[in-house]
Amino acid sequence: MSTQAAITLPPIAGYHPTTLIDWPGRLAAIVFLPQCNLRCRFCHASAMLAPPQEAIPLESILAHLDERRGWLDGVVICGGEPTVWPTLAPLCEVFRGRGLGVKLDTNGTHPDCLAGLLAAGLVDAVAMDLKAPLDGRYRQVCGDAADVDAVGRSIDLLMSSAVDYEFRTTVCPAFIGEAEVRAMGERIAGARRWILQRFEPAHALDPALRTVRPYDPPVMESLAAIGRRYVARCLVRGQPERCCGRAPVV
């Protein structure tokens, strides 16, 4: 039995065969890994927080990927939170062994895992959540399990790496306003890209947030304009990009 065959890879809770938006500039498939160490109150993917009732066989996904060899650029691994799984790296190796790029979506709470993936060259791109300023407000959003020091380490890892990366913030009006955007901007000043995502209340994990009205597009753009004081490429997902801030770190 090979070493890889002896490893228990993470279960796969979901699979989307094609996305044009989750990895800008790439045509990719998405693999969803279950379970998460955080309980973000605005989370709209609560179905991914627990172990799946039935996992999707990796073999069937690989067979589908093989059928599309030559025109699919890569695989986005998201969750849940992929870095809670100790065998995430071998899963990345499986996809890379088929000539596919790998993008990781993460909450940044496991910097040692992230550092290992970066050092081994197992990810081509990383999208990391920035939930709130790195102080007590983080735990207000994500629960007591949120380790802001770990999140800070992951920020520093990405900003000092050669990998393509972006930070992402879900802008829930209950937690994020101009002051919070300024505080987060100061922490990631000089980063390459910062995406602001509009809050979607309908399926929020915290029922109290389901009646919170999202910011209108002009307000979202005004927050992005504040973000561009710190990060040149700060934009609202789904709106045209405007670059008028400071020069990004390269």
- Taking residues 229-248, what's their average pLDDT? 70
The pLDDT assigned to 51 comes to: 80
Phi-psi region of 194 (alpha: psi -120 to 50; beta: other; left: phi over 0): beta
The pLDDT assigned to 240 comes to: 56
- Tens of pLDDT, residue by residue over 21-70, are 899 899 999 999 999 999 999 998 877 887 877 899 999 999 999 998 88
The pLDDT assigned to 247 comes to: 34
The pLDDT assigned to 126 comes to: 99
pLDDT beyond 80 at 12: yes
Could you tell me the residue ranges of all domains in the chain?
3-236
pLDDT beyond 80 at 176: yes
The answer to whether the CB of 198 falls within 8 A of the CB of 220 is yes
- Tens of pLDDT, residue by residue over 138-162, are 999 999 989 999 999 999 999 999 9
The answer to whether the CB of 224 falls within 8 A of the CB of 168 is no
pLDDT band at 238 (very low <50, low <70, confident <90, very high): confident
The answer to whether the CB of 10 falls within 8 A of the CB of 56 is no
The pLDDT assigned to 154 comes to: 99
pLDDT beyond 70 at 248: no
Distance CA 69, CA 198 (A): 34
Distance CA 35, CA 11 (A): 10
- Taking residues 100-123, what's their average pLDDT? 98
Distance CA 95, CA 40 (A): 29
pTM, full prediction: 0.91
pLDDT beyond 60 at 17: yes
The answer to whether the CB of 190 falls within 8 A of the CB of 159 is yes
The pLDDT assigned to 95 comes to: 98
Identify the CATH number of the domain defined by range 3-236: 3.20.20.70
User: Looking at per-residue confidence, does 68 or 168 come out higher?
Assistant: 168
Residue 226 CA to chain centroid, in angstroms? Answer: 22
